[in-house]
C-alpha cells in the first residue's frame, strides 16, 4: 500500500520581459502555484497550476482554494489505484470533485511525475513507448509588415520550420497581403500555420482562404465563428483546418470531425486533463490528423510536461506551441527551460524542471 505522505504548495510570481496583451487582458507577470505530492519513500512529483486570465474561467484565488482543499483531503491517505494506464482512472478519481481545468491538470501532472520517479522513468517514458527524443517548436510571427523581415529571418535562423500567424485582426485584404508577403520569403521546407480564433463569418473566411490558396499553409485554426460551418469553408477553399476552441468542454465522442480537419491543437491545462489529452492524441492518430500541443505561458514545469506529452502523441515530429518561455525574465527551475535551434530535448528539460531554484520555498 502506498501513501500520499505529504502535499506541498509553492506560489510563484515570474516577471515578463514586457507587458503581454492577450485576449483583451494585459499582464506584467505570470503567477501560478506548484504542487508537490510525496510518498512515504521520499519520491516526489511536481505539478503546476497556473490559470491564465482570459483563457481559464477560474482565477488564481480559485485555484489556490481548490489546491488547499485537495491537500486537506488527500494528505496521509492511501494513493488511488489504477490511474495507469490513462484509461479513465483519473476521471473516476477526480471527475466528480469539481476541480477547475487548470487545477485538475496540475494534480494529474504531479501524480504522473510521482509515478515516473517511483519507477525510475522519465515522464515521456511513462506516458508512451518509444517517445521522441526531441520535439520542435513553431515560431510566432507578430507585428507589422515593416517588422516582419527581421523577425522572420531570426525565426528561420533559429531553426523554426513552422511559422504561426494570428489573423482575423485587420481587413481581409491586409491579412491576405501579410500572409502572401511572409510566404514569399519562406524557405521551401517551412510552412505557415494560421489562427483566426473564430473571428470570421463564413463569407469572410472563404474570401481569405481563396486569397492565400497559393501559399504554403499547413492549416488554419478555427477560421469561422460557427464551427458547424467548417465543412462549408473547406469545401469552398480547400484550406485544411485545425480545431482548438472546439475541443474545450467537448466530450471526445462529440468532436466535429470532417475531411476538413488536419490537426487538433490541444492545450492540456484548458482541456483540464493529461489523461484526456492522450486520449485525444490517440483519436487524432486514428483519423490521420496531427496533435499539436500548446501551453499558455507556463513555467518550466508545465512546459516540460507539455513537451513530454508531445513526444508520445505523433509518429512524426509535429512542431508544438511551447515558445512562450521566451516571455519570462526568469524561470522557476535551474537551469531554465529552453530550446536549441527550435527543438526541445524532452528528457533533459523534464529532468531540470524538478530542480526548483532555492529562492522559492514550499509551504
Q: For residue 31, what pLDDT is reported?
A: 95
| The pLDDT of residue 18 is above 90 | no
Element (H, E) at 276: helix 274-286
Band (51; pLDDT cuts 50, 70, 90): very high
- Please give the Cα distance from 303 to 291 (Å, whole number): 16
Q: For residue 361, what pLDDT is reported?
A: 85
| Domains of the chain by start residue, with CATH | 3-120 (3.30.390.10), 127-353 (3.20.20.120)
Determine how β-strand 134-136 pairs with β-strand 343-345: antiparallel
- Rounded to 5°, the CA angle 72-75-79 comes to 130
Q: Is the peptide bond before 85 cis (omega within 30 degrees of 0)?
A: yes
| The pLDDT of residue 53 is above 90 | no
Per-residue pLDDT, averaged over 295-314, amounts to: 95
- Please give the Cα distance from 192 to 190 (Å, whole number): 7
Q: For residue 23, what pLDDT is reported?
A: 66
Per-residue pLDDT, averaged over 40-69, amounts to: 93
- Provide CB contacts within 8 A for 309, sequence distance 6+: 127, 268, 274, 277, 278, 281, 293
Percentage with pLDDT > 90 across the chain: 81
- Please give the Cα distance from 82 to 12 (Å, whole number): 32
- The per-residue pLDDT of the chain, averaged, comes to 93
Q: For residue 149, what pLDDT is reported?
A: 84
Cα 292 to Cα 156, 318, 357: the distances in Å are 20, 7, 30
- Rounded to 5°, the CA angle 123-274-306 comes to 55
Q: What is the pLDDT of residues 122-155, one digit of tens each?
A: 999 999 989 999 999 999 887 777 778 888 999 9
State in Å, rounded, how far the first CA of the chain is from the last one: 26
Q: For residue 213, what pLDDT is reported?
A: 94
Q: What is the pLDDT of residues 175-213, one digit of tens each?
A: 999 999 999 999 999 999 999 999 999 999 999 999 999
Q: For residue 208, what pLDDT is reported?
A: 98
| The pLDDT of residue 253 is above 70 | yes
Q: How far is CA 122 from the centre of its chain?
A: 19
| The pLDDT of residue 163 is above 70 | yes
| The pLDDT of residue 247 is above 70 | yes
Instruction: Print burial letters for 307-334: b (CB count within 10 Å at least 16), e (below 16).
Output: bbbbbbbbeeebbbbbbbbeebeebbbe
- Please give the Cα distance from 172 to 233 (Å, whole number): 15
Q: For residue 179, what pLDDT is reported?
A: 96
Amino acid at each position: 500500500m502506498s501513501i500520499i505522505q505529504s502535499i506541498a504548495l509553492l506560489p510563484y510570481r515570474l516577471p515578463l520581459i514586457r507587458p503581454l496583451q492577450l485576449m483583451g487582458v494585459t499582464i506584467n507577470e505570470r503567477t501560478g502555484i506548484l504542487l508537490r505530492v510525496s510518498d512515504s519513500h521520499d519520491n516526489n512529483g511536481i505539478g503546476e497550476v497556473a490559470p491564465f486570465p482570459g483563457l481559464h474561467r477560474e482565477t488564481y484565488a480559485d485555484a489556490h482554494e481548490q489546491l488547499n482543499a485537495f491537500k486537506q483531503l488527500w494528505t496521509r491517505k492511501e494513493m488511488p489505484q489504477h490511474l495507469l494506464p490513462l484509461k479513465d482512472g483519473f476521471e473516476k478519481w477526480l471527475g466528480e470533485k469539481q476541480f477547475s481545468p487548470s487545477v485538475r491538470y496540475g494534480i494529474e501532472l504531479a501524480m504522473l511525475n510521482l509515478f515516473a520517479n517511483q519507477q525510475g522513468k522519465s515522464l515521456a517514458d511513462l506516458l508512451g513507448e518509444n517517445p521522441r527524443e526531441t520535439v520542435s517548436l513553431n515560431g510566432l510571427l507578430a507585428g507589422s509588415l515593416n517588422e516582419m523581415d527581421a523577425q522572420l529571418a531570426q525565426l528561420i535562423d533559429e531553426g523554426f520550420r513552422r511559422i504561426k500567424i494570428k489573423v482575423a485582426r485587420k481587413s481581409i485584404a491586409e491579412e491576405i497581403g501579410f500572409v502572401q508577403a511572409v510566404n514569399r520569403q519562406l524557405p521551401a521546407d517551412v510552412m505557415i500555420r494560421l489562427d483566426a480564433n473564430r473571428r470570421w463569418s463564413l463569407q469572410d473566411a472563404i474570401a481569405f482562404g481563396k486569397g492565400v490558396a497559393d501559399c504554403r499553409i499547413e492549416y488554419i485554426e478555427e477560421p469561422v465563428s460557427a464551427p458547424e460551418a467548417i465543412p462549408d469553408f473547406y469545401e469552398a477553399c480547400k484550406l485544411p483546418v485545425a480545431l482548438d476552441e472546439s475541443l474545450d468542454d467537448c466530450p471526445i465522442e462529440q468532436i466535429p470531425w470532417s475531411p476538413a480537419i488536419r490537426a487538433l491543437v490541444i492545450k492540456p491545462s484548458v482541456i483540464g486533463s493529461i489523461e484526456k489529452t492522450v486520449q485525444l492524441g490517440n483519436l487524432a492518430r486514428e483519423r490521420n490528423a496531427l496533435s499539436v500541443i500548446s501551453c499558455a505561458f507556463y513555467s518550466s514545469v508545465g512546459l516540460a510536461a507539455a513537451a513530454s506529452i508531445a513526444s508520445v502523441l505523433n509518429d512524426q515530429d509535429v512542431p508544438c506551441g511551447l515558445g512562450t518561455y521566451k516571455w519570462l525574465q526568469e524561470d522557476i527551475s535551474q537551469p531554465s527551460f529552453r530550446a536549441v535551434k527550435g527543438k526541445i530535448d524532452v528528457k533533459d528539460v523534464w529532468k531540470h524542471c524538478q530542480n526548483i531554484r532555492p529562492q522559492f520555498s514550499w509551504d
